[in-house]
């Protein structure tokens, strides 16, 4: 079992063996979560604080559930109502919370790099629940677990990530993870939604769905991240749907057994047709949500083991 991290800030620092360790443990938590009694005490006595500076439904709920199922004391900070609104800096808030001796701090923030900065100031384990357009490691891990369980492997697959690549931390973390596990990654979207230098990430770039989806094993759709757009990146949602929205006709270019994924929240009729999203033979969107709880349990379990391995009072 290999997992040497103090924090989970991104996929970038992880070794493939560490990714496998998280996924293997997640499989065990999937079984626990499907059982009648969903409780374990591996985080018993530990305090988990969730700080979400950006809206979240799935991620916050599943981190909360994951902590509770593992027996931690879980506190959700209402960031809208916090002193941040009174002008306190992120670092001051972090130091205040740190003084309450949390063991696990789960943070989502609109600025790329904010979570890494915060991790330098506190002595508990920090989990990045999404920072700006930078990374969203637990999302990429839950996507990987979903792929591995439905396809039976996590290597030598062709994965097409489609839509707003430029503003997406989900795309970035997935590109890193899938690359480390030796998959072929394609990104598809309009040139206005492709980040500069994307080809340096070892991906193939397409601006045509029919071409990009050819023979794909996995089709991952992304939401247009309008909150991160400061101008007109697309002509209109209707035009965007016509060219890049996933419907049966476009999906027909992928392999017959290709699975359809979406991290949520979904905009039906913009990036994906509702009937495709609901097609239980193709869509694994609900499985992704289920895997999310298990992956967050595994990640917090592993970080807590490393916390306990460090002698009391020693900062690493
Ligand atoms: C994603 C996010 O917040 O980055 N959602 C999620 O965590 N499930 C994607 C998105 O907001 O579109």
- Does the C-beta of 58 come closer than 6 Å to ligand 1? yes
- Does the C-beta of 7 come closer than 6 Å to ligand 1? no
Distance (angstroms) between ligand 1 centre and the Cα of 247 equals: 21
- Does the C-beta of 261 come closer than 6 Å to ligand 1? no
**Mutate which of 10, 110, 130, 292 for ligand 1 pocket (most atoms within 8 A of beta carbon):** 130
DSSP secondary structure letters along the chain: -----S-B--STT--HHHHHHHHHHHHHHHHHHHSS-----TTTT-EEEEEESS--SHHHHHHHHHHHHTT-EEEEE-GGGSGGGGT--HHHHHHHHHTT--SEEEEEESSTTHHHHHHHH-SSEEEEEEETTTB-HHHHHHHHHHHHHHHS-SSS-EEEEES--TT-HHHHHHHHHHHHTT-EEEEES-GGGS-TTGGGGT-EEES-HHHHHTT-SEEEE----GGG--S--SS-HHHHHHHHSB-HHHHTTS-TT-EEE--S---BTTTB-HHHHT-TTTB-HHHHHHHHHHHHHHHHHHHHHHHHHSPTT---
pLDDT tens digits along 226-235: 888 877 888 8
| pLDDT computed for residue 77 by the predictor | 87
| pLDDT computed for residue 88 by the predictor | 78
- Does the C-beta of 136 come closer than 6 Å to ligand 1? yes
Q: What share of the chain has pLDDT > 70, as a percent?
A: 97
How confident is residue 162, by pLDDT bands cut at 50, 70 and 90? very high
Mean pLDDT, rounded, for 109-132: 95
> With 70 as the cut, is the pLDDT of residue 65 above it?
yes
The pTM of the full predicted model, rounded to 2 decimals, is 0.96
């Amino acid at each position: 079992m290999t997992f040497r991290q103090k924090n989970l800030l991104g996929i970038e620092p992880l070794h493939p063996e560490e990714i496998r360790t998280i996924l293997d443990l997640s499989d065990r938590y999937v079984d626990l979560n499907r059982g009648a009694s969903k409780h374990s005490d591996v985080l018993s006595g530990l305090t988990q604080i969730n700080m979400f500076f950006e809206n979240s439904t799935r991620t916050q709920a599943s981190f909360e559930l994951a902590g509770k199922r593992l027996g931690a004391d879980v506190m959700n900070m209402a960031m809208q109502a916090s002193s941040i609104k009174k002008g306190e800096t992120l670092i001051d808030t972090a130091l205040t919370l740190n003084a309450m001796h949390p063991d696990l701090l789960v943070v989502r923030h609109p600025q790329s790099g904010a979570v890494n900065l915060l991790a330098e100031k506190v002595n508990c384990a920090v989990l990045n629940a999404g920072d700006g357009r930078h990374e969203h490691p637990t999302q990429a891990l839950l996507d990987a677990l979903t792929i591995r369980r439905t396809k039976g492997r996590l290597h030598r697959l062709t994965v097409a990530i489609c839509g707003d690549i430029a503003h997406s931390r989900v795309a970035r973390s997935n590109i890193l993870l899938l690359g480390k596990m030796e998959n072929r990654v394609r990104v598809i979207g309009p040139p206005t939604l492709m980040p500069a230098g994307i080809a340096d990430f070892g991906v193939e770039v397409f601006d045509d769905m029919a071409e990009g989806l050819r023979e794909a094993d996995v089709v991952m759709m992304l939401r247009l991240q309008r909150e991160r757009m400061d101008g007109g990146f697309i002509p209109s949602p209707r035009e965007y749907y016509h060219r890049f929205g996933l419907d049966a006709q476009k999906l027909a270019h992928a392999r017959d057994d290709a699975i359809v994924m979406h991290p949520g929240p979904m905009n039906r009729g913009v990036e994906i047709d509702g009937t495709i999203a609901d097609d239980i033979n193709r869509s694994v969107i609900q499985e992704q949500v289920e895997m999310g709880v298990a992956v967050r349990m595994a990640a917090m379990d592993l970080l807590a083991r490393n916390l306990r391995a460090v002698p009391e009072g020693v900062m690493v």
